[in-house]
C-alpha cells in the first residue's frame, strides 16, 4: 500500500472513498458506513481529502441559570456522565444559579521582529496612529461594527537566538473568534513596521493566550445541600490541586470537559480554548483555573477565571447546521454571552467531579454508563442493556464477555 496519492484532493468524495477502500482492504460494509456519515453537504469543503464524518453525541445540560436567565446548554462530548454532572451541579446551585462576566473581545496578534535597531519600541509606539490606519484599511466592516485595532504593545524578549522585538496588536474582534481578522492585520502592518525599525518580521499570527479576553463565573452551593463533610473534602481536594501540578492537570482537564463540549456543539475552536486555558494556568506556576472557599455562612463558593475565546459568527459556527441550532437553543446574541455560559459549565463540571470524588468516588457514575455501553457492544438492545448493566454492576464484573454471557442467558 502506498500513501503518495497524487491528485487525491482533486477526486470526488466517492472516488476518494473507493480508493481508500481498495488500498486499505475495507469491506463493502465498512466503506458504506463511512459513506453514510457524509450527511453535511459542505463536509468536503470543511477539511481536505474528506472521506466521511465522525459524530459526537449532542446532549442538553439542564438546570442552568446564568445571570438570572435560564439556559439549556448543548454539549457535544463522548465521555460518559459529563452532561449529567453539569446538570446536577447546576441544579444544586439553583435558584440563584451562576453569575458571569467577561472582558471586551480583545485578541492579541503578534509580530516577531528580528534585528530591530535600538529604540525600536519607542519608534513603533510613536507611529501607533499610522499602524492603526493601515490595519483598518483591510477590515472596514469590523471597524464599522465597533471593532478593530485598539492599541499596540511592544516587548523585547531574550531567546537562545538573541534579542527579539515582539509587537502586540490588540484587536477588538466583536462576535468572532478573530483569528482571520487578527492574522490579516498582522500581515498587513508588518512591512510598514519593518521599514520603521530596519528589522525583519518573521511570524505574524494570533496568540491563543487571550489575557485581555477573560471570562469569570461564580456560584454558591449551600451547606444544607452538600453537607459540611463534602465541603471540607472539596476544599482539601482544591488545596491538593493548588500544590501539585500532577493533580492540577486533571483538575483543569475536568473544567475543560464542560467548556470543550459547549464549544464543539457551537462550532468553535476548542483547541484554541485549551491552549489558552492551560497557558493562563501556567503563567505563575501551573495552578487551578477554579477557586473554592467558604463564605460566612459555611456555604461553598466556587469561582472560575480564564481566557475564553468563543465566536457566534464566522468559521463553522455559520456553516455547520448543528452549530447554528445549538446557538439557537442557547439563545445567545453576543459572543461574550456564549463564553460566560461555557465558563459556568466548566465550573459546574469541576465542582461535580470534586464532589463525586470526595463523596462516592469518581468511578460510580462512570462505571454505570460504561457498563451500559459494554452491554450495547455485546449486541444487547437498549432494554436488554439496562438489565445486563444492573447485573454487572451488582457483581462488579464489567466486560464484553460477561455481558455476552448474560445476553445469551436472557435470550434463551
User: Quick one: 173 and 225 in the same domain?
Assistant: no
Strand partners, 159: 162
C-alpha distances (whole Å) from 156 to each of 8, 122, 294, 396 are 45, 12, 42, 60
Q: What pLDDT, on a 0 to 100 scale, did the predictor assign at position 210?
A: 97
DSSP type of residue 299: P
Count CB atoms within 10 A of the CB of residue 228. Answer: 12
User: Is residue 338 a contact partner of residue 261, using CB atoms and an 8 Å limit?
Assistant: no
Residues 76 and 181 in one domain: no
Please report whether residue 269 resides in a domain.
Answer: yes
Looking at the structure of the chain, the number of domains it has is 4
Residues 234 and 349 in one domain: yes
Residues 318 and 246 occupy one common structural domain = yes
- % the chain with pLDDT above 70: 96
Domain identity same for 343 and 221: yes
Q: CA-CA distance, 108 to 203, in Å (whole number)?
A: 13
Comparing 23-27, 76-80, 224-228, the range with the smallest average pLDDT is 76-80
Q: What is the CATH number of the domain that holds 377?
A: 1.10.8
Same-domain pairing of 229 and 92: yes
Name which of 79, 70, 38 is nearest 261 in CA terms.
79
Per the domain annotation, does 6 fall within a domain? no
Mean pLDDT of 128-150: 92
Average pLDDT of the chain to the nearest whole number: 92
The residue-averaged pLDDT of 386-391 equals: 87
Question: Nearest to residue 163, comparing CAs of 126, 121, 133?
Answer: 121
Q: Look at residue 2 in the predicted model and tell me its pLDDT.
A: 79
Give this prediction's pTM: 0.88
Q: What are phi and psi of 95, to 5 degrees?
A: -90, -15
Task: Please give the Cα distance from 39 to 282 (Å, whole number).
Answer: 40
Q: Which residue has the higher pLDDT, 205 or 118?
A: 205
Q: Is residue 1 part of a domain?
A: no
Contact of 210 with 307, CB cutoff 8 Å? yes
User: At how many degrees (to 10) do helices 245-265 and 270-281 cross?
Assistant: 150
In a domain, 329, yes or no: yes
Q: Taking a C-beta distance cutoff of 8 angstroms, is the pair 107, 276 a contact?
A: no
Sign of CA dihedral 251, 272, 149, 164: positive
pLDDT of amino acid 92: 97
Q: What's the CATH number where 261 sits?
A: 3.90.770.10
Beta strand pairing call for 148-159 and 99-102: unpaired
Give yes or no: residues 69 and 176 share one domain: no
Classify residue 51: in a domain, yes or no: no
Residue 185 and residue 221 share a domain = no
| CA–CA separation, 377 and 356 (whole Å) | 27
Residue 248 in this model has a pLDDT that exceeds 70: yes
pLDDT at 273: 96
The confidence score (pLDDT) of residue 37 equals 78
Domain span at residue 290 reads: 58-102+214-360
Instruction: Name 236's bridge partners.
Output: none
Together in a domain, 265 and 197:
no
Q: Looking at the domain assignment, is residue 7 inside a domain? A: no
Mean pLDDT of 376-385: 83
Task: Answer whether residue 2 is part of any domain.
Answer: no
Q: Are 344 and 303 in contact (CB under 8 A)?
A: no
Residue 257 lies in a domain: yes
Express each pLDDT in 251-303 by its tens digit. Answer: 999 999 999 999 999 999 999 999 999 999 999 999 999 999 999 999 999 99
Q: Report how far apart, in Å, the C-alpha atoms of 54 and of each of 36, 67, 149, 322, 326 are.
A: 11, 35, 38, 14, 18
Q: Predicted confidence band at 390 (pLDDT cuts at 50, 70, 90)?
A: confident
Domain boundary among 207, 236, 261: 207
Q: Is residue 234 located within the same domain as residue 162?
A: no
Residues 39 and 123 in one domain: no
The answer to which of 24-28, 250-254, 295-299, 315-319 has the lowest mean pLDDT is 315-319
128 and 161 within one domain: yes
Residues classed as catalytic: 79, 253, 269, 366
Amino acid at each position: 500500500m502506498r500513501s503518495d496519492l497524487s491528485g487525491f484532493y482533486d477526486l470526488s468524495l466517492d472516488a476518494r472513498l473507493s480508493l481508500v477502500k481498495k488500498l486499505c482492504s475495507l469491506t463493502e460494509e465498512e466503506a458504506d458506513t463511512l459513506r453514510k456519515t457524509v450527511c453535511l453537504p459542505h463536509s468536503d469543503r470543511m477539511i481536505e481529502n474528506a472521506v466521511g464524518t465522525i459524530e459526537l453525541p449532542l446532549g442538553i445540560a439542564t438546570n442552568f441559570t446564568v445571570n438570572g436567565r435560564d439556559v439549556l446548554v448543548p454539549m457535544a462530548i463522548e465521555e460518559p456522565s459529563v452532561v449529567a454532572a453539569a446538570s446536577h451541579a447546576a441544579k444544586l446551585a439553583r435558584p440563584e444559579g451562576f453569575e458571569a462576566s467577561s472582558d471586551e473581545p480583545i485578541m492579541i496578534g503578534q509580530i516577531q521582529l528580528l534585528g530591530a535597531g535600538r529604540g525600536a519600541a519607542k519608534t513603533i509606539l510613536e507611529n501607533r496612529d499610522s499602524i492603526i490606519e493601515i490595519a483598518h484599511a483591510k477590515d472596514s466592516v469590523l471597524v464599522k461594527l465597533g471593532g478593530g485595532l485598539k492599541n499596540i504593545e511592544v516587548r523585547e524578549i531574550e531567546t537562545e537566538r538573541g534579542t527579539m522585538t515582539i509587537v502586540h496588536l490588540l484587536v477588538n474582534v466583536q462576535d468572532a473568534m478573530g483569528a482571520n481578522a487578527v492574522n490579516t492585520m498582522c500581515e498587513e502592518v508588518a512591512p510598514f513596521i519593518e521599514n520603521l525599525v530596519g528589522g525583519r518580521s518573521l511570524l505574524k499570527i494570533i496568540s491563543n493566550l487571550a489575557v485581555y479576553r477573560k471570562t469569570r463565573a461564580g456560584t454558591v452551593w449551600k451547606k444544607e445541600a452538600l453537607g459540611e463533610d463534602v465541603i471540607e473534602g472539596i476544599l482539601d481536594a482544591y488545596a491538593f490541586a493548588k500544590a501539585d501540578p500532577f493533580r492540577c492537570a486533571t483538575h483543569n482537564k475536568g473544567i475543560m470537559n464542560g467548556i470543550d463540549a459547549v464549544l464543539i456543539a457551537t462550532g468553535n475552536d476548542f483547541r484554541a480554548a485549551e491552549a489558552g486555558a492551560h497557558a493562563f494556568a501556567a503563567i505563575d506556576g501551573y495552578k487551578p483555573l477554579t477557586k473554592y472557599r467558604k463564605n460566612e455562612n459555611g456555604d461553598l463558593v466556587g469561582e472560575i477565571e480564564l481566557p475564553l475565546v468563543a465566536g457566534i459568527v464566522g468559521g463553522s459556527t455559520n456553516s455547520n447546521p448543528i452549530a447554528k441550532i445549538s446557538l439557537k437553543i442557547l439563545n445567545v446574541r453576543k459572543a461574550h454571552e456564549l463564553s460566560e455560559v461555557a465558563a459556568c459549565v466548566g465550573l459546574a463540571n469541576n465542582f461535580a467531579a470534586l464532589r463525586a470524588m470526595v463523596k462516592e468516588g469518581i468511578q460510580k457514575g462512570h462505571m454505570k454508563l460504561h457498563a451500559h455501553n459494554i452491554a450495547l457492544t455485546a449486541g444487547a438492545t437498549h432494554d436488554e442493556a439496562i438489565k445486563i448493566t444492573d447485573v454487572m454492576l451488582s457483581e462488579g464484573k464489567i466486560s464484553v464477555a460477561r455481558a455476552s454471557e448474560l445476553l445469551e442467558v436472557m435470550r434463551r
